[in-house]
Structure 1
Amino acid sequence: MLRLIYFPMLLLIILVSQGSVAKSEENGRSTCLLQDPQNQCGDFCLSKINPIIELVPETNSKLERIHGEQQSIQMKLLAVQSKLEISMQSKLDAQLLAVQKKLEDQNTALFKSFEERFETKVEAQLKELQNKAENQLMALANQLSALQKTLFETLSTINSKIIPPKFELIGSRHFYIENNIVQSWDKAAETCRAMGGYLAAFKTQEELAAIMPKLDSLSWYWTGIKHLKEDGTFISTASGKPATIFRWKKGEPNNSGACVELDKWGMRDIRCSFGRYFICQLDNET
């Protein structure tokens, strides 16, 4: 490349020199005309061009240095371009990741919000259905209770009108006096229940006085009156209420047992395991 620059410069210098000579001639100055330019111009031209030729290596060195600097600058530009591309790509990637994360967060928030609203709505509906079901069950339970009460009252009315066999009216209530089978107190209570009644307690002294003459004079009969160990109270096992009507024999009760028996002349307490006849009552009011 430097040789191509050198030859045009040399030709330019020659042409300029010739033009200068011709111009001097025109101005009337003293001019040396060459009779044999081919031979006479060699030393003269070389003496004029030599300083210029001597500058060519320095010029070439400068051009090479400039070329090297251009290559260095170009390499730096390429490095800067590469760094910029990497930086821009990193920034773009970071921005894309940020946008992607933002979209994912928005989607997550929307899904969570929808899920919460859906769960709240479902829970409200389930709660409403549960309340309705509970109200319906309560209404049915009330209806069933009312029906049971009505049925119980009806059965009580029917039972009060239907007197089981062997029960007789004594005073204002119905009783059965067993004079053939001897049983323990517990067995006698079971027998009365099987007949539709309970071991008897007494409502009034008049009622007791009406029953006692019907008893065998040599026999004892179980009543439904029993002694509680906790506080010493005698209760009617038919009603669960404290017994109020007694006719104790002399020296009784003497804590001989928890059960109360009756004969033609009075009452005493005795062990419940003994075998006795028994008296049943139809109702459980007393």
Structure 2
Amino acid sequence: MFKWASYFLCSFAVLASKGSWATLQDNNQTVCILKDAPNQCGSFCLSALDPMQTNLDAIERKQGVITSQLWALISRQDVQQKSLPSLDYELRRHTEMQEKHISHLLAVQSEMQALQKEMLHSILDVYKKLNAHQTLVQESLDKSITKEVFENRLEGVDKQLLTIGSTMAILMSRSVDQPHTVQNQSLQSPQASLQESLSEIGSEPPQFEQIGSRHFFIEHNLRLNWTMAAQRCRQIGGHLASFQNRLEFNAVTAKLLTGDVYYWIGMNDLGQEGQFVSVASGNPVAFFDWGYGEPDNLGGNHDCVDIAHAKMWDSKCADEERFICQSDNEV
């Protein structure tokens, strides 16, 4: 194809040259007549065809790219056509599962409605029975005692309750001042039992000693959990201790036993995690001196604060440890 194009262009050049030669003859000018056009015009024709050849190459490359893209599209189409049956199967399967699920939901809804009706009937039956029982009780009361007698008896019971409450208040106040004077075995309420247990712990209330500007009591022997330690401090007229500054903290820790010996103090975050308050004043704690990595709330139940190695640690409130009391409720 390239050879024929070369011949064509050379022939065109010869004709053009002949036309020019004829024109030049009329003007009495001399020209070079081509005797071997293919050989004499080869270079010219090649130079003239070079851009065309370049364009043809570019077109062929583009055609190759388009052909590749077309084959890719055909292949993709084939894959999609092959996957259509599986997609159709999955769609039918999903539709069947959805229909089964809807049927199951409808069945459950029907069962729930039936249970609701049954529960409603049961509640109505119970309500009727209660009304009937209430009527019988009222009739029995009306027959047994009059309204006036019932009110008089109720008033007497109220007076007895007030008397018992006053007596308990007096006994509780006495038990705080003198732990061994209250031994009444007839009052077995939880508070009385707790107070009686604490009364058996020690004899006379210990003496507070002045450390810095305040008074503290340090229990080196008895070990209690945090709640019982707080109750013991209240029993002797104080509270579990908190500290107002480092000077006071250092003065107290200097009197503690060394080593792995822990002392409860009056700080906890039982109300809100991370918000430590003083059990004595109910205010946020004024001074901390935590150990390394503390407070870590290890296990999610370290809510009470103790002292060891002259540092503060958060520990389980159920642990039994020594404790420190303060005489005031200002800190």
State the TM-score, normalized to the length of structure 1. 0.42
The structure that has the greater radius of gyration is 1
